[in-house]
Amino acid sequence: MTSTSIVLLALARQIEDELTTALAPLELTVRRLGLLGHIAGVPGASFSDLARMSGISVQSAHSAVKGLVAAGLVLDHTARAGTASTIELTEEGARLLRAAREASAEVDERLFGPGADPVRRRLGEAVRAAFSLPEGSG
């Protein structure tokens, strides 16, 4: 019998590969997309919050945010280490996030939309129902 976990891991790898390809023209990785999404979606998130949501260490969150600041995608108004952080998207960061969401919607459509394999289409429907996602989102 095939393991559900193994099948889902294989599918997750395919999805990540598709997203990686779709995001490459934007010079964005899946991990950076996730971090931008967390920053946009959770105003006032601390570095600890960002680390937890992203599945990385706090030190890695600091490094990743520094990279996003250097790329002009976010502003970090943190006064000093240990204080509350105020991290927000710049206009360029917001534009890039919108473009990345469009790219990921195209991946969703290709992998789980009406023209997709019927099994994947049903899986997409089940995921949307389980997580109360609107129609048209992966």
Answer whether residue 95 shows pLDDT above 90: yes
Residue range 112-133: average pLDDT?
91
Distance from the Cα of residue 18 to its chain's centroid: 13
Q: Please, what is the average pLDDT of the chain?
A: 90
The domain locations on the chain are 31-115
Q: CATH: 1.10.3720.10, 1.10.275.10, 1.10.10.10, 3.30.2290.10. Which one for 31-115?
A: 1.10.10.10
Indicate the pTM of the whole model. Answer: 0.83
**Tens of pLDDT, residues 27-71:** 999 999 999 999 999 988 888 999 999 999 999 999 999 999 999
Average pLDDT over residues 1-13: 91
Q: What was the pLDDT predicted at 52?
A: 94
The sign of the dihedral angle between the CA atoms of 101, 103, 106, 107 is negative
Q: Widest CA span of the chain, in angstroms?
A: 55
pLDDT of 78 above 90: no
